[in-house]
Structure 1
Amino acid sequence: MCWLPTASLVVVTYLAIQAQAFRDGDFIQTARKAQFHQQRTNWHDLLGHHCPRFGNDRVVAVPLQKPMLPLSELDDYKLQLSFDGDRHLTPWLKVIGKGAPPVPVVEVELRRSGEELLGVVAKVLPAPVHYQHAHAHLVEEWRNASEWPKHLLVRYEWVTENDVDLDRGLYVLFGAALLVLLLLIFTAVQDAGPKLAIFLQEVAGDDHVAGVNGAPGAGTSVGSGAGPSTSTWGSTWKDGAKAE
């Protein structure tokens, strides 16, 4: 039927929206991967208290994996983060090595629209002085090259873009689907109009022919009915004449 593809499209779109929807405070699945000594580790999921929460700004301390061999002054330690099931990846972020801050902090900007995570941008910055005062024990880890695991401060900050009401969007979507359905029905009826007119003309023509063929029978029936009346009147007239 013509409305089935439209209905299927509406259902699939609705399910896709629901699958990517977050509520305020929901944890965003996050994983990390490290690179050092020209090698890369596998992805490791972060614990819930290290992950961002939808719509909430927060600062966390993420533990870094210890390299099997000590890092030299020429070695780099880079980190990559993955969010929402690898839908959003950061570039490789240098946190140890030439050009990296002595005490780094990773600033992650997460963009949202309504209940959807749109994208992620991350960069490495020197830890502000008030961060270093508030997390003095973490600063000592970075100053001592042999102390592991080191905890990296990660600041999650949310930015809202074009906040959309999903309920209103669904109403618009269903309204558009209904409009498409009505358009398809109108088109189908319009295409079938000439055929329907021909069919009605043929039916009307058959009824007319049937009426013409039945006319002689009706005339004979009237004529035969008139005969007995005339005969009876004539018989009565004769009887009356004899009585006189």
Structure 2
Amino acid sequence: MKIATYNVNGVNGRLDVLLRWLEEASPDVVCLQELKAPDPKFPVKAIEAAGYGAIWHGQKSWNGVAILAREREPTLTRKGLPGDPDDTHSRYIEAAIDGMVIGCLYLPNGTPYPGPKFEYKLAWFDRLTAYAAELLHLEVPVILAGDYNVMPTELDVYKPERWVDDALFRVEVRDAFRRLVEQGWTDALRQLHPGERIYTFWDYFRNAMPAFASITSCSARMSPKGFRIQGSTSMSADGEHTSDHAPTWIELSDGPTEEDQ
């Protein structure tokens, strides 16, 4: 099973790019971020015509997340991250697909640091960590995929000295990501490529690809039988009118986890 995450940076404005990628890559499950469209404007007919069922959580001009499943319908299990009833941002959606729980997230950017947006980012991260701890207790495979807006290490950023006080590279944010992973999650891409520079996002203004910002995380105990992470990659983000993020995916196959061996 190929599970992908892709910050499309405007699902309607880049619908042709998304549809072309879906046809070329044929992922089984796709987590989309930055839809930048309210619910009624989500292009569900075009998505369905491409062979995908979909659930989505939109917002006018900002944010927005969706989960697509090839040749089947994802079952909505949650819309919105728990922990703050006053938070109206569309940043989390969750579905059950083929016995797995897939959470799609778009963590706040937090720029500028310092300031209220950065504090909101840290608070949202705390809520995600608290909810992720609950998900670990499920007796089914769980995947949290999306745009974490984090550069976890210096390996994940081009010229790290330029980003010391950036909201994606601040030590508070990297510590928050580390605490999440240490709950018992696997940073799937880094499990297979621990020492490689793999960038999935670039900055329009700095004309650089600085960050490993889109990450797929899997629970360490994938299921009673277990799944094996067979492969993972990040596609180069070329092509006209493309997003400032590249799609990233993992491939899972039946097999024992390290715990089961």
> Which TM-score band (shorter chain)?
under 0.3
Q: Which has more helix, going by share of residues?
A: 1
TM-score (norm 2): 0.22
Q: Which has more strand, going by share of residues?
A: 2
The structure with more radius of gyration: 1
TM-score (norm 1): 0.23
